[in-house]
Amino acid sequence: MREYYVEPQEKVGRLAKSTYDLYVGVNKSTIVVPDYVGPIIKGIDVGRSRYTDDFPTYPLVDLARDVNEKDVQFKDFYCRFYEYDKHEKDCPIFFFIHGGGFTKGKLPKLNNIGRYLAYINKAVAVHIEYELAPEVEWPKGINECYEAISYFYEHSDDYGFDKKKIVVIGESAGANMAAAVSLMDKYNKHVSMQVLVYPVVDLSSESSERFDESYFGSEFTDIEYKQLYTNKSDGRFYQVYANENADPKDELLSPYFAKDYRDFPRTIVMAADYDFLTFESYEFAKKLDEAGVDVDFVKYNGTFHAFFTRLGVLEQSEWAMDFIKETCENYFKEK
């Protein structure tokens, strides 16, 4: 396993300056999330959970140019297809499966991510707008993601890409779904590469029980400590995402517990500095490496969970995009 630890260009204390400014300093959001929005489903306030989808707490920056968009409708969900004007017919396709604890995250808030993936890679990209929990339960979301990937694979000529160059990028809960898709794909082998950005890969309580705070250092500031524990994987994701009869250690719910990774694609695992999920992300990367998967682990120091979607706001987002681009170029060149 190749390991990379990326330092910020400029710091305030231990944080990247851009991260500090967004969460503590001059760019801190003034959005106030109401105490109650409703409805309450499976014990969570769905409207409150999704409030920041409609009222983002950070600027939405579009760095892409010359990218066309169109929506592709499926039975119960849709995808948005992005096409860079001057892309080659043998270009890769990048699928983005967003995070949000399985309960939130949607277009247009995330539209800049798909646009930038197409732009920076001079390729095509797809945002999968899967149905959210708790209104729908596992495994419907991952089935929708795999249905979308299979559809575009079968229609690669129509959409102008090389079907041997399929890259699936998932972040947070979406990374859980991306890893599940790769497990579903082990016989068809549509997916050439996966990028798991601060993945939650264990929906049981085991990773939480193994968590070692000393991995992250000591004497945290208030904001560092708060962000470190914001995404504690203590079983709450399972409660809203899965049906009550599902085994939390089912490999399609918790890819950490899969018995066989031999057919897993080339993998990049990315993590943040102060993020509960970094511990299990690193454990998962090591587990893949021990199983013979070609894997990179990249940790961006001085920042928090969700940096990937703060495009144009946090420097780590663009650095992560650059790493994906360069790694894909080298990988597909060698193939």
How does pLDDT run along the chain (335 residues), one tens digit per residue? 999 999 999 999 999 999 999 999 878 899 999 999 999 999 899 999 999 999 999 999 999 999 999 999 999 999 999 999 989 999 999 999 999 999 999 999 999 999 999 999 999 999 999 999 999 999 999 999 999 999 999 999 999 999 999 999 999 999 999 999 999 999 999 999 999 999 999 998 887 788 778 878 878 888 888 888 887 766 678 889 998 889 999 999 999 999 999 889 999 999 999 999 999 999 999 999 999 999 999 999 999 999 999 999 999 999 999 999 999 999 999 87
Distances (CA, A) of 187 to 190, 259, 263: 9, 15, 8
Give the DSSP letter string of 196-257.
EES-----SSHHHHH--GGGG-SS--HHHHHHHHHT--SSHHHHHHS-TTS-TT-TTT-GGG
Q: What are phi and psi of 220, to 5 degrees?
A: -80, 150
R_g of the chain computed on alpha carbons:
19
| pLDDT value of position 245 | 87
Instruction: Give the count of beta carbons closer than 10 Å to the beta carbon of residue 129.
Output: 21
Q: How far is Cα 159 from Cα 161, in angstroms, rounded to an integer?
A: 6
| pLDDT value of position 233 | 62
Q: How far is Cα 94 from Cα 130, in angstroms, rounded to an integer?
A: 16
Separation of first and last alpha carbons in the chain = 19
CATH number of 2-334: 3.40.50.1820
- Position 252: which residue type? L
Tell me, yes or no, if the pTM score tops 0.75.
Answer: yes
Q: How far is Cα 238 from Cα 93, in angstroms, rounded to an integer?
A: 30
| pLDDT value of position 234 | 63
Question: Torsion angle of alpha carbons 143, 147, 149, 151, nearest 10°?
Answer: 180
What residue has token string 């930038």?
Answer: 116
Q: How far is Cα 223 from Cα 230, in angstroms, rounded to an integer?
A: 10
| pLDDT value of position 146 | 98
| pLDDT value of position 211 | 79
Buried b (16+ CB within 10 A) or exposed e, 181-211: bbbbbeeeebbbbbbbbbbbbbbbebbbeeb
